[in-house]
Structure 1
């Protein structure tokens, strides 16, 4: 399945939430406003917008955390876009259990920092946000 076929839709995200395994906080009017404010601040990948339409944040079974949109906006204000050589600019939206930032690029790929810093090297973690959510470690 290529990245275009893996694009998120709200129905898939809702089904993923229902499957369990992750602790999710469903989207609210407040989180939708925060997501809208994030979009006003910087263009975000469409998959992230879809994710935030359904949920506000999540804790995955392996300890990774998908940040709420207000946190993503704060991280963007502090660090800006993440530059990854040969890749479209990326936005930090999650953190690993050991505190390493995860960034979603405009191409839809998810990258993980090799250290707890946003200024270090990022390695490819998943070919899509959907794959990122399905990783079982």
Structure 2
């Protein structure tokens, strides 16, 4: 699945949650309101909106965590959008077990910070959010 060709499908996200492997907190009315507030706050990548309509947050088997919409908003207030050369601005939406920020860009690609700080240099780790979730099982 190429990031530019296809976007995250909520049916795929639901099936991914059912397969197990990750600890998932399902979306609630409260998390939907937090997602709406995040959409109002910043130009959130559409795949992240799709993800948050199915789940509120998740912990992947390798220790990475997908933050809640409330946490993403707080990180946006603190750091703003991540500037990645040659890429559309990105939002921090997840972190590794050792604190390296993961950011989703408007193109749908996922980037990981080289250091445990939210700002700095980022490396491409997945061409899509779906690929990020699939390879982290």
Which category of TM-score, normalised to the shorter sequence, fits these structures?
over 0.9
Task: Extract unaligned runs of 5+ from structure 1.
Answer: none
Deviation of 1:5 (Å): 4.5
**Aligned residues: CA RMSD:** 1.1
Distance between the aligned counterparts of 2:75 and 2:9, measured in 1?
25
Aligned twin of 1:51: 51
Which whole-Å CA distance do the structure 2 matches of 1:24 and 1:111 have between them?
22
**TM-score where L is the length of structure 2:** 0.96
The corresponding residue for 1:62 is 62
Shift of 1:6: 4.4
Give the unaligned 5+ runs of structure 2. none
* TM-score, with structure 1 as normaliser: 0.96
Mapping of 1:78-117 within 5 angstroms? 78-117=78-117
CA distance in 2, matches of 1:107, 1:78: 23
Equivalent residue of 1:74, what SS?
helix
Shift of 1:3: 1.8
CA distance in 2, matches of 1:18, 1:118: 31
Query: For 1:132 and 1:104, how far apart are their aligned partners in 2?
Result: 10
1:26-64 deviation per Cα after TM superposition (whole angstroms, max 9, x unaligned): 000000000000000001111000000000000001000
8 Å contact 1:90–1:105 — kept in the other structure?
yes
Match of residue 133 from structure 1: 133
- C-alpha contact (below 8 Å) 1:45/1:106 kept by paired residues: yes
SS at match of 1:103: strand
Could you tell me whether the CA contact under 8 Å between 1:59 and 1:65 is conserved in 2? Answer: yes
Count of matched residue pairs? 137
Structure 1 runs of 4+ aligned residues shifted over 3 Å read: none
Distance (Å, rounded) in 2 between the aligned partners of 1:75 and 1:24: 21
